[in-house]
């Protein structure tokens, strides 16, 4: 009697994929309104406390670079479950930290949670063909984008009522919930049990020599860099320059998240019809125009919370249109190395964002206004236009020769 043919593993529910990314977004956003209060509580300068954003992103970049190849070799599931276990231990350490130094150590270890950004995209590429990946990534990130909309508001309220540590308790509870969900629903999706590391290394030069990969990766890096710079500088601008309370800063943080959710919805609905490159270019143009307008208004002395956070809301819209398509483009270069491509692209984006966030934190002072932050964001957005045009021109040249 012949043995039954094993069935293919069940695909993870989209709620699971959204939750994996959402946990990383929560850890980056919920405590942002508390940064000034945390600096006062630990007796350190704001610039040191801001490292919990910029240095967190720097460590995240390294981890995302590593987790892609590791997940291609050993599978998506063990990487996700292991990352969440480490995150929960680091969260407990951050809550019990006796001083700013120990807090920063555990905060940087918490960055392991951001591997979920890479793995969720790689799982999408595992289970759907390239032409559908941008659309599905759009739906996943649209759901995830609801977290940055709610998290700073929740964090600001928790800070004013229970203190900044309440935000880290919320992180731990969320991490435990998502880890449990993954344990039950996240089946392995890596093809054939994973690509051996030796085989990955042998194919790296192909990925590294691809103009398409670098064009998409640098476009995403610069566009996302605008947002990460915003994360590093917005709490200071909101409370010190615009004189908002932590809770008010949290409310205004909903603007970029609403824009990002809408942009991801547009990506999910229209990327297949319009094409990845055109969606990316449109998103880059939207980011650039509105950030440039906000900068001009600030230089004229007319910056208000509505103008500042409103312009960043349109930046979120542009990023929502750009990033799912750029990520799908990166992973389409070598589909069998989707995790590696996603990890390398994510690492570049986060590393660039970490540098820009640190630069914003260093340049912002009471007498500078919001101009340094807006300059960084606007220049980064404009530069992203150049790289997607580079991809489009190169593809036209290939078509003409072909």
Q: Are 361 and 49 in contact (CB under 8 A)?
A: no
SS (H, E, C) 32-78: HHHHHHHHHHHCCCHHHHCHHHHHHHHHHHHHHHHHHHHHHHHCHHH
Q: Report the pLDDT value the prediction gives residue 345, as an integer from 0 to 100.
A: 75
pLDDT tens string for the chain (402 positions)?
Answer: 444 444 455 677 878 888 888 888 888 888 888 888 888 888 888 778 878 877 887 888 788 777 777 787 777 888 889 999 999 999 999 999 999 899 999 999 999 998 888 788 778 777 766 556 666 766 676 666 677 667 887 888 888 888 889 999 999 999 999 999 999 888 877 665 555 666 666 666 777 778 888 889 899 889 888 888 887 788 888 888 888 887 787 778 777 878 888 888 888 788 778 888 899 999 999 999 999 999 999 999 888 999 999 999 999 899 989 988 888 888 777 766 666 676 677 777 777 777 787 787 777 777 777 888 899 999 999 999 999 999 888 878 777 776
pTM of this prediction? 0.68
Q: How far apart are CA 97 and CA 94, in angstroms?
A: 5
**Chain-centre distance for alpha carbon 122:** 14
Q: Report the pLDDT value the prediction gives residue 132, as an integer from 0 to 100.
A: 66
Cα separation values, 244 from 32, 142, 166, 241, 262, Å: 13, 28, 21, 8, 26
Q: Are 200 and 138 in contact (CB under 8 A)?
A: no
Residues 6+ apart with CB under 8 A from 77: 182, 186, 187, 188
Q: Report the pLDDT value the prediction gives residue 301, as an integer from 0 to 100.
A: 87
Q: Are 101 and 123 in contact (CB under 8 A)?
A: no
Helix count and strand count (H, E) for the chain: 18, 0
Judge residue 202's burial from the number of C-beta atoms within 10 Å of its C-beta, 0-12 exposed, 13-18 middle, 19 or more buried.
Answer: exposed
Q: How far apart are CA 87 and CA 79, in angstroms?
A: 12
Q: Report the pLDDT value the prediction gives residue 194, as an integer from 0 to 100.
A: 54
Q: How many CB atoms lie within 10 A of CB 45?
A: 11
**Chain-centre distance for alpha carbon 137:** 13
Residues 6+ apart with CB under 8 A from 391: 211, 212, 215, 216, 219, 277, 329
Complete domains list, the chain, with CATH: 14-401 (1.20.1250.20)
Judge residue 176's burial from the number of C-beta atoms within 10 Å of its C-beta, 0-12 exposed, 13-18 middle, 19 or more buried.
Answer: middle
Note the residue count of the chain. Answer: 402
What angle, 0 to 180 degrees and rounded to 10, lies between the N-to-C axes of helices 211-236 and 35-42? 60
Q: How far apart are CA 37 and CA 14, in angstroms?
A: 37
Q: Report the pLDDT value the prediction gives residue 161, as an integer from 0 to 100.
A: 87
Q: Report the pLDDT value the prediction gives residue 394, as an integer from 0 to 100.
A: 81
In the structure encoding, which two tokens stand for residue 35, read together?
């940064």
Backbone φ/ψ region at 369: left (φ over 0), alpha (ψ -120 to 50), beta: left
Q: Report the pLDDT value the prediction gives residue 176, as an integer from 0 to 100.
A: 95
Residue among 281, 348, 371, 275 nearest 318 (CA): 281
Query: Which residue blocks in 163-245 are alpha helix, DSSP H?
Result: 165-185, 197-208, 211-236
Which DSSP state fits 110?
G
Q: How many CB atoms lie within 10 A of CB 395?
A: 14
Q: How far apart are CA 213 and CA 207, in angstroms?
A: 7
Residues 6+ apart with CB under 8 A from 182: 16, 19, 20, 77, 80, 81, 84
Judge residue 306's burial from the number of C-beta atoms within 10 Å of its C-beta, 0-12 exposed, 13-18 middle, 19 or more buried.
Answer: exposed
Q: Are 170 and 30 in contact (CB under 8 A)?
A: yes
């Amino acid at each position: 009697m012949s043995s039954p043919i094993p069935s293919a593993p069940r695909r993870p529910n989209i709620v699971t994929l959204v939750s994996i990314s959402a946990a990383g977004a929560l850890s980056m956003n919920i405590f942002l309104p508390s940064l000034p209060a945390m600096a006062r509580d630990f007796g350190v300068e704001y610039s040191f406390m801001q490292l919990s954003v910029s240095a967190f992103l720097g460590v995240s970049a390294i981890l995302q670079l590593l987790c892609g190849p590791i997940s291609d070799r050993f599978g998506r599931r063990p990487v996700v479950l292991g990352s969440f276990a480490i995150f929960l231990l680091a969260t407990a350490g951050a809550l019990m930290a006796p001083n700013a130094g120990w807090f920063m150590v555990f905060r940087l270890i918490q960055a392991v949670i951001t591997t979920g950004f890479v793995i969720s995209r790689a799982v999408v590429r595992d289970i759907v063909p390239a032409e559908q990946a941008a659309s599905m990534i759009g739906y996943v990130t649209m759901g995830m984008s609801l977290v940055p909309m709610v998290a700073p508001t929740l964090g600001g309220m928790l800070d004013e009522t229970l203190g900044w540590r309440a935000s880290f308790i919320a992180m731990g509870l969320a991490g435990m919930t998502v880890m449990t969900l993954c344990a039950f629903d996240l089946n392995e999706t890596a093809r054939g049990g994973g690509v051996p590391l030796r085989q990955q290394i042998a194919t790296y030069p192909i990925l590294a020599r691809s103009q398409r990969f670098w064009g998409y990766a640098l476009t995403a890096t610069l566009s996302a860099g605008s947002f990460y710079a915003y994360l590093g500088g917005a709490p200071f601008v909101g409370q010190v320059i615009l004189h908002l309370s932590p809770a008010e800063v949290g409310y205004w943080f909903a603007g970029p998240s609403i824009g990002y959710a809408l942009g991801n919805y547009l990506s999910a609905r229209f990327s297949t019809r319009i094409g990845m490159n055109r969606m990316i270019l449109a998103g880059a143009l939207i980011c650039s125009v509105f950030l440039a307008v906000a900068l001009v208004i600030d230089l004229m002395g007319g910056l208000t919370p509505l103008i500042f956070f409103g312009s960043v809301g349109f930046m979120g819209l542009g990023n929502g249109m750009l990033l799912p398509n750029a990520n799908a483009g990166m992973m389409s270069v070598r589909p069998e190395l989707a995790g590696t491509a996603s990890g390398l692209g994510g690492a570049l984006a986060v590393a660039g964002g970490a540098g820009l966030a640190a630069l914003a934190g260093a340049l912002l002072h009471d007498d500078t206004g919001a101009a340094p932050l807006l300059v960084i964001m606007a220049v980064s957005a404009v530069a992203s236009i150049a790289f997607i045009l580079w991809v489009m021109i190169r593809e036209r040249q290939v078509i003409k020769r072909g």
